[in-house]
A and B are shown apart, each in its own frame.
Chain A
Amino acid sequence: MYSYTEFDEAFVRERVAQFRAQVERRIDGSLTEDEFKPLRLMNGLYLQLHAYMLRVAVPYGTLNSRQMNQLAYIAETWDKGYGHFTTRQNIQYNWPLLKDVPDMLDALADVGMHAIQTSGNTIRNVTADHFAGAAADEIEDPRPYAELLRQWSTDHPEFQFLPRKFKIAVTGAPNDRAVVKAHDIGLEIVKNDAGETGFRVLVGGGLGRTPMIGKVIRDFLPKDDLLPYCEAIVSVYNLLGRRDNKYKARIKITVHENGLDEFKAQVEDRFALLRGQFGGADQQLLAEIKAQFARPDLPARDLSGFTTAYDNDPVFRAWVDTNVAEHAVDGYALLTISLKAHGETPGDATAEQMREMAALAAEYSSDELRISHEQNVILPHVAKSDLPAIHARLQQHGLATANIGLISDIIACPGMDYCALATARSIPVAQQIATRFDELKMEHDIGPLKIKISGCINACGHHHVGHIGILGLDRAGVENYQITLGGDGTEDAAIGTRTGPGFAYDQIVPAIETLVETYLDERESPDETFLDTYKRVGMAPFKAALYPAEEKSRAA
């Protein structure tokens, strides 16, 4: 994986020094709060409900053990001993003091990490498939391109004050695990008829209050054109995007209001103007980056230990069945460590858990870890024969929950427990749903079901693309939760449909239970997933179950 060059290192140090001075200048009055706010945001620092929050980037979700250990150190030294992994491959610290933040950033720089452009109206942390470089279905590892985009977008002088935030995701596999269709720019590595690889470029996707699926702006972009083409898109957006209304400022609205054809025409014009700017230095750099992402050597291993454990230990078997995915190399596995223990906060890990995961990565996964947008941690190169030992270690640290892709593997934003923008809480709803279905011992029977919860219309919890989406709102001073069904965040991306009126805080868990019971009644076989059943039978039976009184009054 990528390690910082001297240039990267010097850049990040300089940036920390700048931020240290900015904090001092805010305190001495040189910078007003209005001026300081975008500067602190572009260094990852928010002011939330109870405290500041520092959001640290995990570029394309890839970490080594030294970096994970440092995240643990930061959590213990300047925070309350834990961190929260987010839906965009970041980690958030919820309790830093303003004066400590420059020191935290220096500690990150010590291990080649940063918090640059994790917020603000800039190009944010570039995300990628969390199985990149290991998945069996992959055309090419997307991370070298993500790293190239990171370098291009970092401190890009034209794009630090865009109309609104700008998110880019890259996938190298046809099975989209990076939700590229819900990004401002989505990049899919594809092969054309001539057998060359390039990018299908999507533009104008996004969730938030106006969810939109990204539109294809280029079917096939030669790989060498990546930077000038992205620069053309963002450059056109910077002038064309609305600045009068923050809810209409995202590129999805720009594309929608101007029409894809007009937008594309301007982009192609700008691309022609810009293409000559990139004369090959970027491709040379890319080649150097690629070399660092070469897959580690994964020697063949005897499988007997794995087979014995799998056949004899039902707990181990259940865990393998849910948490292990197919690796490109025989005898190896992609292991997802669940940060969704029943009743715990989705995405949170204590410093001790981070250290354990770091140790396991060093010992068993070629020193690599990944953070998924579903708020879990992945060991990407694990020999199957090591899985029993890893499982035993994870059990000792509350990390062996066998629920990946199941009903308790919930995405939840921080909601009103932390976020200043939230209109309702998300975390306790997730905790209660997970606890309830764990009590019922039903979740393995229910099978794949993605619940996603957002505590406000901005949709950080991706509720629009949850099979069951939950949106928390403030209705006349009381928390109220709307439900959507049928959303999908994969290559078949779809926005969920609202069931009807929302539910009070103490009614939302029973409502979810009702939906699940309805699914179990309706499904044709245990193999038919919740989403498949919903697609077959539609909204009607779910609606009838959720709102029985209304159905009766209509029938009467």
Chain B
Amino acid sequence: MPLDPASAPVADRVRDLNERYRHHGATAVLERALSDAQVGNIALVSSFGAESVVLLHMISVMDRTTPVLFIDTQMLFEETLQYQLDVSEKLGLTDVRSIRPDPEKIRELDRFGALHLSDPDACCDLRKTQTLASALAPFDAWITGRKRFQGGQRAALEFFENEGDIRIKVNPLAHWAKDDVRDYMINNRLPRHPLVSQGYPSIGCKPCTSKVAEGEDERAGRWRGKDKVECGIHFINGKPVRRVAEGTEGEATPQEETTMSVIVTDGGFAADDWNGELAAPEDTGAAAVLLPSDADPEVLRDRLDQLKLVAVDFPSFADGRGFTIARRLRLMGYTGRLRAKGHVIADQYAMARRVGFDEVEIDLDLATRQPEDQWLRRAEWKAHDYQSRLRA
């Protein structure tokens, strides 16, 4: 049963919980979430995707009767459906609920199953977001597998989130790194989603999931070529929030789940003063592009003079391709603004400047962990530079 409405407001409980579990690991957070009276009635929402098995396994060890909500959008891969059955059985989960979209609405809005072609956001909203919203109604809290490493907008993720003052969202894996997930699966000999070995590290609905090239961001295969990074299933202020595709009629102002980022220059931290979208490199009309770390900078050669801003993505600070990309853009004659964006650490600031970047864009989480003074310590990047002695 849902908690008594008289109990403490969601916002207070979330603040309390985050405070209390700040220094705990994933299993501790999950264990408490399942039993803590402050959390209330809880369900795990699982896509039975590439990494879902980690939380499912933890649940199976702690309390296999925990309700598991599996959203079957009716657009899933056969392999996912089979995997859901196999994993549920192997782990002995006793309350897996397969939840499907309302057939009435499907008949009304997507009778031919082609909505994803014309409006992928509307398709997500219909098949996933609304379905989940109604399935979650009886619960006080739900568990997700979201992780900070998965990308910009998720970088500040906390263990407990307030969802519109009505529900708590629990992210036990918030602090896990890619390797943690992999190690956990290996150490526990957990069955892999059959599509992972075929090049799909992130798995959603069949029409909107493509393979990911080596070295590409894991979620790059989701909604490839579409201006979309998060599924609408994530909520802000309790309301399902999704990006509204350009040209569609938005009711009121769409609220986007964006995380503020910080721009670092030799002068320190500042807010981002670029008010525009970063287009994909293929978008030939764009004034600003975001170049993935596996892109060939040659694709921009013919329009270097019309570009105002080129941002080069750093999916991980250990991926040094962006430094060579920047140097090449400069050698090719690009003189506009050049930005390193993503996981760049303070210790790399001088390297970034020396290869030709003007600035670095980091998320709030990193800016908090490595505050301005740590970056300013590298602001004197022209000093002690061997290259400048050799290149003249």
Using a CB–CB cutoff of 8 Å, the interface residues on chain A facing chain B are 7, 10-11, 14-15, 18, 21-22, 25, 29-31, 34-35, 38-39, 121, 151-152, 154-162, 227, 235, 238-239, 242-244, 273-274, 277-282, 285
Which residues from chain B contact A158 at a C-beta distance below 8 Å?
Answer: 320, 323-324, 327, 351, 355
Contact A244 B214, beta carbon cutoff 8 Å:
yes
B392 proximal to A (CB < 8 A): yes
Q: For chain B, residues 350 to 392, give those with C-beta under 8 angstroms from any C-beta of chain A.
A: 350-352, 354-355, 369-371, 374, 377, 383-387, 389-392
Q: Which 10 residue pairs spanning A and B have beta carbons closest together?
A: A161-B320, A281-B392, A157-B354, A157-B351, A244-B214, A238-B324, A282-B390, A11-B384, A158-B323, A157-B355
A279 to B317, CA, bound (A): 32
Taking the nearest CB of chain B, how far is it from the CB of A284, in angstroms? 9
Of all chain A residues, the one with the shortest Cβ separation from B175 is A32
Give the contacting residue for A157; candidates B215, B323, B369, B377; CB below 8 A.
Answer: B323
Tell me how far the C-beta of B238 lies from the nearest C-beta in chain A, rounded to whole angstroms: 33
Secondary structure call for the A interface: helix
Contact partner, B389, options A21, A34, A157, A285, Cβ 8 Å: A285
Contact sample, A vs B, 28 pairs, CB 8 Å cutoff: A10-B384, A18-B377, A31-B347, A34-B177, A35-B317, A35-B347, A151-B386, A151-B390, A152-B386, A152-B390, A155-B385, A155-B386, A157-B351, A157-B387, A158-B323, A158-B327, A160-B348, A161-B319, A161-B323, A161-B348, A235-B324, A243-B321, A273-B332, A277-B391, A278-B390, A279-B391, A281-B389, A281-B391
Say yes or no: is B6 at the interface (Cβ < 8 Å to chain A).
no
In Å, the complex CA distance between A29 and B369 comes to: 8
Q: Which of chain A's residues have a CB closer than 8 A to the CB of B319?
A: 161, 243
Q: How far is the CA of A121 from the CA of B317 in the complex (A)?
A: 12
Does B76 reach chain A (CB closer than 8 Å)? Answer: no
Least Cβ–Cβ distance between B149 and chain A, in angstroms: 10
Chain B, residue nearest A42 (CB): B347
Given A162-B320, A244-B215, A227-B331 contact (CB < 8 Å): no
For the complex, what is the distance from the CA of A273 to the CA of B328, rounded to whole Å? 9
From B214, B324, B348, B386, contact of A154 by CB (8 A): B386
Interchain CA distance A507-B166 in the complex, whole Å: 71
Do the beta carbons of B320 and A159 come within 8 Å of each other?
Answer: yes
Q: Which residues of B approach A to under 8 Å, CB–CB?
A: 177, 214-215, 296, 317-321, 323-325, 327-328, 331-332, 345, 347-348, 350-352, 354-355, 369-371, 374, 377, 383-387, 389-392
Find chain A residues with CB under 8 A from B387 CB.
152, 156-157
B325 near A239: Cβ-Cβ < 8 Å: yes
Contacts of B331 in A (CB 8 A): 273-274, 277
- Cα of A179 to Cα of B384 in the assembled complex, Å: 32
Q: Chain B residues near A273 (CB, 8 Å)?
A: 328, 331-332
Chain B residues near A14: list those with CB within 8 A: 383-384
User: For A154, what are the chain B residues with a Cβ–Cβ distance below 8 Å?
Assistant: 386
Most buried by B among A39, A121, A161, A242: A161
Q: How far is the CA of A39 from the CA of B374 in the complex (A)?
A: 15
Residues of chain A with a CB closer than 8 A to B386's CB: 11, 151-152, 154-156
Q: Are A157 and B350 in contact (CB under 8 A)?
A: yes
Q: Is the CB of B214 within 8 A of A242?
A: yes
Q: How far is the CB of A237 from chain B (nearest CB, A)?
A: 9
Inter-chain contact B389/A151, CB cutoff 8 Å: yes
Q: A157-B323, A273-B328 are in contact. List 5 more A-B contacts (CB 8 A).
A: A121-B320, A155-B386, A158-B320, A244-B215, A279-B392
* Closest A residue, CB atoms, query B374: A30
B355 to chain A, nearest CB (A): 5
Count chain A CB atoms within 10 A of each CB in B348, B390, B392 and give the residue with the most: B390
Contact B355 A31 (CB under 8 A): no
Residues A25 and B374 in contact, CB atoms below 8 Å apart: yes
Enumerate chain B residues within 8 angstroms of A227, measured Cβ to Cβ. Answer: 390
Given the known interface contacts A160-B351, A244-B214, the answer about A281 and B321 at a Cβ–Cβ threshold of 8 Å is no
Complex: A150 Cα to B324 Cα, angstroms: 19
Choice from B177, B215, B332, B347 contacting A18 with Cβ under 8 Å: B347
**Least CB distance, B147 to chain A, in whole angstroms:** 14
Do residues A278 and B391 form an inter-chain contact, with CB atoms below 8 A?
yes
Contacts of B347 in A (CB 8 A): 18, 22, 31, 35, 39
Query: How far is the CB of B81 from the nearest CB of chain A, in Å?
Result: 29
- Bound CA span A279–B214, Å: 38
Do residues A161 and B318 form an inter-chain contact, with CB atoms below 8 A?
yes
Give Cα A152–Cα B391 distance, bound, in whole angstroms. 10
Q: Is the CB of A238 within 8 A of B391?
A: no
